[in-house]
Structures are given as structure tokens and as C-alpha cells.
């Protein structure tokens, strides 16, 4: 599953870069694929981390390794689950 972590940042570019490095290291340690940090075109959020994880629990194991810094004023997590659009067999 793809996981999007949208957040606002009230710190410096250097601080967000340092936090991104910590997120990437925690992802590697827990087997989550870190797909990067992106600027969000959404008016609500400053940034968005992207991850690929086997499960939400795996993602949470990664997230627990990094305390939320005070510069991250608020965030939301969005889960994208791949749709299976292949034809269903009739019983």
C-alpha cells in the first residue's frame, strides 16, 4: 500500500531536510520503502512524505521510531490501497 503523510512545517528548510533524513533512515530500518518528500500543490499542506509499506502496522512501527517534532504543526495520513479491477468469476 502507498501511504501519504501530509503535513505543515513551521521550521526551516534545514530542519525539514534533517527530519526527512530521519524518516528515510527509520523506513530503511523497518523495511518500509521511502519514496521521498514532495511539495504539496494542495492549499492545505506544505509537504507530503510518500511511503510504500506491506501494511499499516509496518508503517506505524516506522513512525514510532521518530517523535513528531514541534515544527510539524499538524498532519494527516492517507492510505492508498491498490484496486483489483480484474473481472470477477461467476460462481
- Residue 73's pLDDT is what? 94
For the full predicted model, state whether its pTM sits above 0.85: yes
Contact 27, 51 (CB under 8 A): yes
Distances (CA, A) of 62 to 20, 65, 91: 13, 6, 41
Q: How far from the centroid of its chain's Cα atoms is residue 36's Cα?
A: 8
pLDDT tens digits for range 69-89:
999 999 999 999 988 888 877
Domain ranges of the chain: 2-80
Instruction: Tell me the CATH architecture of domain 2-80.
Output: 2-Layer Sandwich (3.30)
- Residue 87's pLDDT is what? 81
pLDDT tens digits for range 24-50:
999 999 999 999 999 988 778 999 999
Contact 46, 39 (CB under 8 A): yes
CA-wise closest residue to 25 among 76, 69, 62: 62
Helices (H) and strands (E) in the chain, counts: 2, 4
- Residue 69's pLDDT is what? 95
Amino acid at each position: 500500500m502507498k501511504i501519504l503523510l501530509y503535513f505543515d512545517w513551521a521550521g526551516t528548510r534545514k530542519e525539514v531536510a534533517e527530519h526527512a533524513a530521519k524518516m528515510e533512515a527509520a523506513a530503511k530500518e523497518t523495511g518500509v520503502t521511502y519514496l521521498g518528500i514532495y511539495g504539496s500543490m494542495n492549499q492545505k499542506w506544505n509537504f507530503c512524505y510518500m511511503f510504500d509499506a506491506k501494511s499499516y502496522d509496518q508503517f506505524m512501527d516506522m513512525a514510532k521510531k521518530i517523535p513528531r517534532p514541534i515544527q510539524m504543526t499538524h498532519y494527516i495520513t492517507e492510505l492508498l490501497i491498490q484496486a483489483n479491477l480484474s473481472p470477477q468469476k461467476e460462481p
